[in-house]
Structure 1
């Protein structure tokens, strides 16, 4: 079985607008880059992933991918879902038999949890949905085959993905991964991330370092 991981990455200058009240613009860009770096490091430590692909139009993200020896696909879409579909098409052209669509803003990803997810026995047609901490959104999708459904991220996507999977004759399953439950979109998410990092060690090194710099700079 060939597994491709696909990460849609929007332009960093457009990222994390809802954090505007907590972090100035330039620092939001740096935070988005740091979180992506941590995600890439985690995914590279998962033996079952054969290729990692970034779908992006951001030159910095493209450079990061090159530094990690990863593939990039030019993002010509207008949404996260369209970018994900471009990645799925790339994976299919490369012979992938399943695709892991992962968010770029889950810096706490634990490679061991992803190992367990990818090792789960699944039917020939299956959709594993990893929800956000609220149980409403989707932070990751494991699709077998890669085009078993068309990804449709955004509000209410957890239910949308399971419903679409059932309609397509695939076996949907919601699998909570604690390390992927926290995606960073709001000041509340950021506060939870800071608290989690303060209570743990050895996780999200790039994000941890960036947040420590911001704390020292702004008191």
Structure 2
């Protein structure tokens, strides 16, 4: 587990992460780790993402938009705040709901499928935004979005979904490029999970992979 780094003067990003009901999330990953229930894998990836976010020196608060009971408990355990979701409202509505709660602060939108995320890479990407009002980081494929950020007082205007990188650029968000492989590597497929594993998974997802590979019983 990453150690919490000290706060940096002049920073105060609010991270927003919407989380679906576990049984509905990441359906293409079903069976990705033999012998491990799908819900446990999804929750582990969210926990690793949130742990890294909470350890980022420029993130002041983390808001999890969810109505998933297991995630409500996990968020509290990891020092995040829960924002109630609206059933069937969709991903972008959940991002907007969380951003509205953080009004007056700069907001960074992230999905909960970045189990290899390194806090310093997230900090570097947010720093790279500079004076731009909005910016995004494309995912490893170049077509999706792994991070969207908006300065204080600027509408987040999330456009996640198929082709979101182009949609965010068309909306005026600046593309942010840097050496941030762990920030770009979201996990939707078995191949994505293998790529994240090669980068180095966070504690919770790594434990599940280790159990599947080497046995040793159910991780705590």
Whole-Å Cα distance in 1 between the matches of residues 129 and 27 of structure 2? 39
Q: 2:75 aligns with which of 65, 75, 80?
A: 65
1:6 offset after TM fit, Å? 0.5
- Which residue is 1:185 aligned to? 188
- Runs of 4 or more, structure 1, over 3 Å off, are 21-26, 194-197
1:71 offset after TM fit, Å? 0.9
Gaps of 5+ in 1: 166-170, 198-202
- Whether 1:155 and 2:157 are equivalent positions in the alignment is no
- Whether 1:117 and 2:125 are equivalent positions in the alignment is yes
Q: State the TM-score, normalizing by the size of structure 1.
A: 0.84
Q: 1:208 aligns with which of 202, 206, 209?
A: 206
Q: 1:175 aligns with which of 169, 174, 177?
A: 177
Q: State the TM-score, normalizing by the size of structure 2.
A: 0.84
Deviations 1:152-190 (A, max 9, x none): 10111111101112xxxxx62333421111111112212
What is the aligned-residue RMSD (CA, Å)?
2.2
Whole-Å Cα distance in 1 between the matches of residues 177 and 110 of structure 2? 14
Whole-Å Cα distance in 2 between the matches of residues 211 and 26 of structure 1? 9
Q: 1:74 aligns with which of 57, 78, 84?
A: 84
Q: 1:1-219 maps to which residues of 2 (within 5 A)?
A: 2-20=12-30, 22-23=32-33, 27-76=37-86, 77-92=88-103, 95-96=104-105, 98-120=106-128, 122-123=130-131, 126-145=133-152, 147-165=154-172, 172-176=174-178, 177-197=180-200, 203-216=201-214
Higher helix share: 1
1:9 offset after TM fit, Å? 0.7
